[in-house]
Chain A
Amino acid sequence: KQEVTQIPAALSVPEGENLVLNCSFTDSAIYNLQWFRQDPGKGLTSLLLIQSSQREQTSGRLNASLDKSSGRSTLYIAASQPGDSATYLCAVRSEIQGAQKLVFGQGTRLTINP
């Protein structure tokens, strides 16, 4: 059974710091991994998608890495800003009971203090 864990559950840092969010998964047989952002009461916004054959993806100040063999992904946020405050969700796409499904972690709630 695929399980996804995100650590820490919450993180508070001052503005301008670089930070890393962690995601681990128990079954390395994944198709891809997707990082999302969720603002309070809103839907999910896709940040980065990493295919199983890739090691990392970058978008602006965000960089996501994937180490499939160890079941880990990290989301690196450079020069954090108050607008980065949100919950960040990691999800892996795996085959479960004959169908491809997205399995989510419980998220890291990030607060950037001005």
Chain B
Amino acid sequence: DGGITQSPKYLFRKEGQNVTLSCEQNLNHDAMYWYRQDPGQGLRLIYYSQIVNDFQKGDIAEGYSVSREKKESFPLTVTSAQKNPTAFYLCASNRGGNYGYTFGSGTRLTVV
């Protein structure tokens, strides 16, 4: 079945560490997105990529970085510059046009 796979499901980060969240899709979608979800704040866009080797900052990009070397993959790195990284991270994809978005199952990141 086609879909989006996010890994790991749970991730723990020590202060000062960089961590990378994986997002892989087999839907052949051109566009991919990273969202952050905090209680009571809804989903906020971190980064998005509409084509391989190109990506743009979303509303809350500071402290995060991404790459898009393959159509299927859009990893998100949470750097030590992100001061409050504890959140639920969701990856999504879209085939373009006016089609809907498909979401992965999420990664919960906790700072320890």
Interface membership of B80, Cβ < 8 A: no
Interface membership of B27, Cβ < 8 A: no
Interface membership of A61, Cβ < 8 A: no
Cα distance, A88 to B102, chains bound together (Å): 15
Contact across chains for B103 and A104 when beta carbons are under 8 A apart: no
In residues 21-45 of chain A, which contact B (Cβ within 8 Å)?
A: 31-32, 34, 36, 41-45
Interface membership of B42, Cβ < 8 A: yes
Count A interface residues, CB 8 Å: 22
Contacts of A113 in B (CB 8 A): none
Cα distance, A47 to B106, chains bound together (Å): 18
Count B interface residues, CB 8 Å: 24
Question: How would you classify the secondary structure of chain A's contact residues: helix, strand, loop or mixed?
Answer: strand
Contact among B45, B48, B90, B98 for A43, CB-based, below 8 A: B90
Cα distance, A91 to B105, chains bound together (Å): 18
Contact across chains for B42 and A42 when beta carbons are under 8 A apart: no
Contacts of A104 in B (CB 8 A): 42-43
Interface membership of A101, Cβ < 8 A: yes
Contact across chains for B42 and A46 when beta carbons are under 8 A apart: no
Which A residue sits closest to B41, measured CB to CB?
Answer: A106
- A81 CB, nearest partner CB in chain B, Å: 23
Interface membership of A77, Cβ < 8 A: no
In residues 32-69 of chain B, which contact A (Cβ within 8 Å)?
A: 33, 40-43, 45, 48, 50, 56, 58
Contact across chains for B100 and A46 when beta carbons are under 8 A apart: yes
Chain A 91-110 per-residue mask, 1 if CB under 8 angstroms from chain B, else 0: 10100000101101111000
A residues with a Cβ closer than 8 A to B are: 31-32, 34, 36, 41-46, 49, 51, 89, 91, 93, 99, 101-102, 104-107
B residues with a Cβ closer than 8 A to A are: 6, 33, 40-43, 45, 48, 50, 56, 58, 88, 90, 92, 98-106, 108
Q: List 13 A-B contacts (CB under 8 A).
A: A36-B103, A41-B106, A43-B6, A43-B106, A44-B103, A49-B100, A89-B43, A91-B101, A99-B48, A99-B50, A99-B56, A101-B58, A102-B92
